[in-house]
Amino acid sequence: MKIAVAGKGGVGKTFISGTLARLLAQDGYNVLAVDADPNINTASSLGIPPDIAEKIVPLSNNEELIQEKTGVAPGKSYGQMFRLTPTVSDIVEKFGVIGPDGVQLLVMGTVSDGGSGCMCPSNALLRVLVQHLLIQRKDVLVMDMVAGLEHLGRGTARRMDVMLVVVEPRMKSVDTVKRILKLASDIEVREVMAVGNKIRSEKEKQFIEGKMMELGVPLVAYIPYDEAIAEADMLGIAPVDHDPDSTAIKAVAELKDYLKKQYGL
Ligand SMILES: Nc1ncnc2c1ncn2[C@@H]1O[C@H](COP(=O)(O)OP(=O)(O)O)[C@@H](O)[C@H]1O
Ligand SMILES: [Mg+2]
């Protein structure tokens, strides 16, 4: 199962993707978490200790790797030819960090803007890597994305089973869902589902329900606003370790069970 988690900044993508990854791993799946959000940081939501997390070098910053795989040094790219189909099968093993419950984390780093036409070597490498990861037979891949999959292109999007768009009960977050939906249809993402997060009242729940119905997106989970998640953040502990019985964690567990059923896992 390949899951991408998208949405506006701050809506809870990292919390939800990290927690989903941990809960799936606790169920015995072999999970690869991919941090594709340059705004840090899936490591802490997975429960990887800060001293290890701090040492992780995002792949996009790893000059040696980029040079080795593409034959071109980062930044020296334009107009230069480089190999477009580097072998990347060893990257997860070499650069993945193992976290609690055996979740493996790969930090991609920043995909530079410039659209799909940008042929910087780091972008080319990340694109090939993601395609490889989506073909590879790992049980579950959970990708924490910054916005959509635009920089990754069609071939990638079609290989994703589902894109979960996280939405909080705020108009700006709904507007971001609209943008992501447009993009998802342009690049042919197979399935898009909305996940409501930080819900504090029946009114907020109904707001999200109404908006998602207008947009025609199935709303598959309601995650409440939960002080325990905010506390975990302040303590620097993974939410699932801080209070596994909290209401928000239980709601993510329900989402996990729903996805397992939906995709026959
Ligand atoms: N259900 C929730 N209840 C309370 N706080 C939450 C909830 N979900 C996320 N948060 C908090 O909101 C902030 C942003 O969450 P984060 O997962 O980093 O968002 P994103 O990755 O989308 O930018 C964090 O401080 C996180 O602890
Ligand atoms: Mg994030």
State whether the beta carbon of 165 lies less than 6 angstroms from ligand 1: no
User: For residue 165, which phi and psi values (nearest 5 degrees)?
Assistant: -105, 120
Q: How far does the centroid of ligand 1 lie from the alpha carbon of residue 19, in Å?
A: 11
Please report how many Cα atoms fall inside a 13 Å half-sphere around the Cα of residue 186, on the Cβ side: 13
Ligand 1 pocket, 43 CB below 6 A? no
Cα 242–Cα 2–Cα 69 angle in degrees, nearest 5: 100
Directed axis angle between helix 63-70 and helix 121-135, to 10°?
A: 80
Give the span between the Cα atoms of 253 and 258, in whole angstroms.
9
Please tell me which of 53-67, 106-120, 210-224 the model is most confident about, judged by mean pLDDT: 210-224
Segment 141-188, tens digit of pLDDT: 999 987 655 656 666 777 888 999 999 999 999 999 999 998 888 888
Q: Which ligand 1 atom sits nearest the alpha carbon of residue 18?
A: 17
Provide the angle, in degrees to the nearest 10, between the axes of the packed helices 247-262 and 13-26.
70
pLDDT of 107-153, one tens digit each?
988 766 554 445 677 777 888 888 888 888 778 999 998 765 565 66
Q: Using a cut of 0.95, tell me whether the model's pTM lies above it.
A: no
User: Which atom of ligand 1 is the closest one to the Cα of 199?
Assistant: 1
Q: Ligand 1 centre and the CA of 45: distance in Å?
A: 10
Name the pairing type of β-strands 162-167 and 2-7.
parallel
Q: Which of 217, 221, 224 is nearest to 193 (CA)?
A: 217
| Helix and strand totals (H; E) in the chain | 12, 8
Q: Are 142 and 20 in contact (CB under 8 A)?
A: yes
